Structure 1
Amino acid sequence: MSEGFNIFTNEEWIIKHGKQFLEEYKKKLEELDLKLLNERDKSKYKLKDIRPRIIITEYGPIIFFRRRYIIVGKKGYIYLLDEHLGLKKHSRILPSLKKKVLNYIGTGKRYQDIIDTLGYTNISKTTIGRILNSIDNTSKIFEIENKVNLSIGQNLYINMDDGYIKYRINKKVLKLSVRIVSFNTGVEYKESKSTKTRKRGVLQNKRVFYIIGNKTNPITWKKTIKMINFWANNYYENFANTKLIVGGDGAKWVKKIAREMNAEFHLDRFHGIKYLKDLFVRGKKKYDSSNWDLYKIAVNLFKNGKADQLIKFLKESGLSISKQIMNYFKYNRDGIVSQAEQSYIGVSAETDICNVLKAPLGFKKATYTLRNVVNFLSQRAFEINNNFKFNN
């Protein structure tokens, strides 16, 4: 064993040789503890006893024994091996394993996904939660490796939507609103690995941030605009001279933001077509072939941006259409017109909510501490802003 042996710098040794060598690794630790015993300042440290300790690596737990000492002239005890390795008193997870867990969180893996991936470690959901609680990750969102330089008049797409998650505070379960806002500069189509599928659109220069709120501190459109300006200038050069395109599901606050920022509004096609499907072919209506013909006409009008013709067609269809549905199409007329614009590339707002919030934190009724939620979102935002391109 080399004199400079350290559990942090030599964890590669474990990864290289695998779980079967954990006993050998344990042996090395205990040999180092013996070495520290022999080399200690005997006038300062008096041997008390030997105690076990467990540390968790990527290949499973290691239980080893090390000596405890009385500090002469002082109260308390010290483990020279722990001090030498930099192991904190109650820490069981190696920093490298902790980093790997956080990286998995950043890629959108759920707690159970991480447990399945790191099966050798016997890591639990509680441990993952403690890892998140043990750090302050809020500064992560500020870390940007490359600031994108935008040209004058270049399209900058801003997609936004709200999601909700439950969080726990003082044994009470409360509802937290999370607004996900993402930016991109357009879509680039690339050949799929499978020749049977069409080219996939990949969003370029994507960046994301989040805003959290609750019942007593709601997320307002004014606050959202303020945050958009802050983050856009943090992520991009020359933001002030770009053409802004705001995309969303047609919620009034999204339209308000688009108007206030003098931005073009793009309606999420998924929501519009879903309403048309509900009107024409949902439920028993799907068994009438004439309804499918009407549905196809309506979808064609929608996709081609013919808002006025679509609204007229709906009125004359003979269907019983609620005032709410009709108002949706009237209110989002400009978002329908933009469907035919060359600048329309789709709206990723719903996908962003899924990728950033729902999928990693879970669609089920899971609850987290507020600190966990913030750290989770910050880690996810960091990974998206620095590493990932997204299919549109």
Structure 2
Amino acid sequence: MDKLLGIEKWQRIDNCVVKKILSFIGNKKTYQDILDTMEHVKICTKTISNIMKNAKIDKEYYLNKTDKKIKIPHTLYIQIDGTYLKMWNEKKTGKKKIKKHSIFSTVYTGFDETKSTEKRPVIANKLGVIELDNIPEYIKKNSKLTNFVNKLLTLITSYYDINDNIEFMVLGDGAPWIKNMAKFIQEYFPKNKVHYTIDKFHLTSRFK
């Protein structure tokens, strides 16, 4: 059964739980928020920290996988953000505080009108990709983000039905490396219109 579920011999947490925790981190939930939400799973802060430390950048983390190509009404929205997570790295030589850099992207086709309410909008056809690393040099040097770009483009081409009439909207916090993502997507889809804008959360926070 473990082999069927893709669980290693030493692993004590189901992969679905790991992905759920990673998605919470992507939504900027604190460790305590995650513990409160997943109380039934019986995990602790050290468990969450270990999941983050053991995540590898050469492994693809796709959230909400689907076997069918998703139809896009008009625009494919690509929300991108990055964050640093502080944690303790325990080794034989001692305990050291490290920073773990995480990049998250949520891709969706707009809002689900059947599920959305006036107070709680629900985004439609949401998929996601995650990359984790220890303060990667490509962020510091603002280079082409090769690993992350490849994962994101693979997700888009594998799961969404793209044609020349589809437009892309890249949303971020204004960071130069996120702005450059729009350029990379335009290079990959030269016949499509690609836009960039600051997302609602970061835009409104600038005026508070």
TM-score of the pair, normalised by structure 1: 0.36
Cα distance, 1:240 vs structure 2: 6.9
Tell me whether 1:125 sits opposite 2:48 in the alignment.
no
Amino acid paired to 1:161: D
Contact 1:156–1:245 under 8 Å retained in 2? yes
Query: What percentage of residue pairs aligned between the two structures are identical?
Result: 21
Q: How much is the aligned-residue C-alpha RMSD, in angstroms?
A: 4.1
Contact 1:164–1:176 under 8 Å retained in 2? yes
1:43-192 → structure 2 map (5 Å cutoff) = 98-99=13-14, 102-103=16-17, 106=20, 108=24, 110-111=34-35, 113-114=37-38, 116-117=39-40, 123=42, 125=44, 128=47, 138=59, 141=62, 144-150=65-71, 154-167=74-87, 168=89, 170=91, 171-190=95-114
Contact 1:156–1:185 under 8 Å retained in 2? yes
2:127 to 187, 202, 207: 207
Q: Aligned to 1:238, what secondary structure does the other structure show?
A: coil
Q: Aligned to 2:206, what secondary structure does the other structure show?
A: helix
Give structure 1 stretches of 5+ with no counterpart.
1-7, 9-89, 278-392
Contact 1:188–1:201 under 8 Å retained in 2? yes
Deviations 1:309-345 (A, max 9, x none): xxxxxxxxxxxxxxxxxxxxxxxxxxxxxxxxxxxxx
1:251 corresponding residue in structure 2: 175
Amino acid paired to 1:106: K
Q: Aligned to 1:266, what secondary structure does the other structure show?
A: strand
Pair 1:131–1:145, CA change in 2 (3 A): farther
Pair 1:104–1:271, CA change in 2 (3 A): closer
Distance 2:60 2:35 in 1: 22
1:262-281 → structure 2 map (5 Å cutoff) = 262=186, 263-277=194-208
Give structure 2 stretches of 5+ with no counterpart.
2-8, 25-32, 187-193
2:6 corresponding residue in structure 1: none
Distance 1:215 1:112 in 2: 28
Deviations 1:247-303 (A, max 9, x none): 1112222222223433111222333333334xxxxxxxxxxxxxxxxxxxxxxxxxx
Contact 2:173–2:198 under 8 Å retained in 1? yes
Q: Aligned to 1:173, what secondary structure does the other structure show?
A: strand
Distance 1:136 1:259 in 2: 28
TM-score of the pair, normalised by structure 2: 0.61
Cα distance, 1:198 vs structure 2: 2.3
Contact 1:190–1:199 under 8 Å retained in 2? no
Distance 1:158 1:143 in 2: 15
Pair 1:210–1:188, CA change in 2 (3 A): same
Q: Which runs of 4+ in 1 moved over 4 A?
A: 126-133, 135-140
Contact 2:62–2:127 under 8 Å retained in 1? no
Select the structure of larger CA radius of gyration.
Answer: 1
Contact 1:158–1:182 under 8 Å retained in 2? yes
Q: Aligned to 1:230, what secondary structure does the other structure show?
A: helix
Contact 2:68–2:159 under 8 Å retained in 1? yes
Q: Aligned to 2:113, what secondary structure does the other structure show?
A: strand
1:228 corresponding residue in structure 2: 152
Amino acid paired to 2:44: K
Contact 2:138–2:145 under 8 Å retained in 1? no
Pair 1:255–1:149, CA change in 2 (3 A): same
1:7-46 → structure 2 map (5 Å cutoff) = none
Contact 1:184–1:206 under 8 Å retained in 2? yes
Comparing both structures, which one devotes a greater share of its residues to helix?
Answer: 1
Amino acid paired to 1:178: S
